Amino acid sequence: MRWLEQRDPDRPFFLYLHTSDPHAPYTPHEPFRKRFAPDVDDPSIGTLLHTNKMKHDGGGPRDVRNLSNLYDAEIAYNDEHFGRLLKRLRALGLYQSSLIVFLADHGEAFKEHGTWQHGTTLYEEEIAIPLIIKFPDGRQAGTRVQALARQVDVLPTLLEFLGLDAPERLDGRSLLPAIAAKAEAPVFAYSYLARRRGSWVGVVHEDHKLVRAREHEGGGTREWLFDLASDPDESDDLLHDLPVWHGFLSNRLDRAITEAPAGSSAPTPDLDPELRKRLEMLGYL
């Protein structure tokens, strides 16, 4: 807030705001805890010690209800403070002229498919995220776009809106045509998850989703095929019922893996002690 008030009013600005909530541990502030989780009177529920225990022990329906309610409280707390930012932008006369993007990096699992938190599977509860774009001067206000959008589409969208050239070989495509309801070729959305015991890859196209899990060290491979339009909870595996879709998406997935430009490992950066400490506090190291 202070930065917004002290910045040079004659210069355009870019503000990146990152929050780690909603996120485990699920320890929301009052009055949100009392409002959304009034029955959770044990302060140890939702702490990292407790959530890590749930990841190993499984937990039951009551644990799912308690942690889900605490998570809802964290969402409400986060929403409250994002609203404070929008209110301040309005008070400073910056809201109408600002381009604002709201999105997340992942979702959270509450045993919908037997797992907790995130980074465990490629089911929708972990990889489907919100994406809201507020254009300047109320343009496209109230528009809800049903077309499939990906995180890699955000940057090309902003560059096109601002009239800036996109770098060569930039992943993703602009969402502006979809927002303007112009017909476009359907897109493929890919996802990838590396784990100690194996890896997951997935592809979504026209409401159909194929997921492939492969275990390391000679382990087997499993695949699932879902129709997200009729089965958003991914409870009905159609792998053997839709052989054409399976073959089509499997081929696209193989091509994407083969053509992926990235190597098997990222370069190791030099981190100063202060930056390393901050990343450790966020849980990234």
**pLDDT at 262 (0 to 100):** 59
**pLDDT at 182 (0 to 100):** 83
Q: What is the mean pLDDT of residues 251-267?
A: 79
Q: For residue 263, is pLDDT > 60?
A: no
**pLDDT at 261 (0 to 100):** 67
Contact present, 68 and 54 (Cβ < 8 Å) = no
**pLDDT at 181 (0 to 100):** 86
Q: Give the span between the Cα atoms of 222 and 145, in whole angstroms.
A: 33
Instruction: Express each pLDDT in 86-134 by its tens digit.
Output: 999 999 999 999 999 999 999 999 999 999 999 899 999 999 999 999 9
| Greater model confidence, 58 or 164 | 164
Q: Give the span between the Cα atoms of 162 and 99, in whole angstroms.
A: 10
Phi and psi at residue 131, to the nearest 5°: -145, 115
Q: Give the span between the Cα atoms of 202 and 78, in whole angstroms.
A: 30
What is the share, in percent, of the chain residues with pLDDT greater than 70?
A: 97
Nearest residue to 121 via CA among 229, 3, 24, 213: 213
Of 28-32, 233-237, 269-273, the least confident: 269-273
Phi and psi at residue 224, to the nearest 5°: -135, 145
- SS3 for the chain is CHHHHHCCCCCCCCCCCCCCCCCCCCCCCCCHHHHHCCCCCCCCCCCHHHHHHHHHHCCCHHHHHHHHHHHHHHHHHHHHHHHHHHHHHHHCCCCCCCCEEEECCCCCEECCCCCEECCCCCCHHHHCCCEEEECHHHCCCCCCCCCCCCHHHHHHHHHHHCCCCCCCCCCCCCCHHHHCCCCCCCCCEEEEEECCCEEEEEEEECCEEEEEEEECCCCCEEEEEEECCCCCCCCCCCCCCCHHHHHHHHHHHHHHHHHCCCCCCCCCCCCCHHHHHHHHHHCCC
* Domain at 188-262, CATH from 2.40.50.140, 3.30.1120.10, 3.10.20.740, 3.20.20.70: 3.30.1120.10
Q: How confident is the model at residue 283 (pLDDT cuts 50, 70, 90)?
A: low
Contact present, 284 and 275 (Cβ < 8 Å) = no
**Boundaries of every domain in the chain:** 1-134, 188-262
Q: What is the mean pLDDT of residues 29-37?
A: 96
Q: Give the span between the Cα atoms of 56 and 279, in whole angstroms.
A: 25
Average pLDDT, the chain: 91
Q: For residue 135, is pLDDT > 70?
A: yes
How many residues belong to the chain? 285
Q: What is the mean pLDDT of residues 74-97?
A: 95
Q: For residue 50, is pLDDT > 60?
A: yes
Q: How confident is the model at residue 265 (pLDDT cuts 50, 70, 90)?
A: low
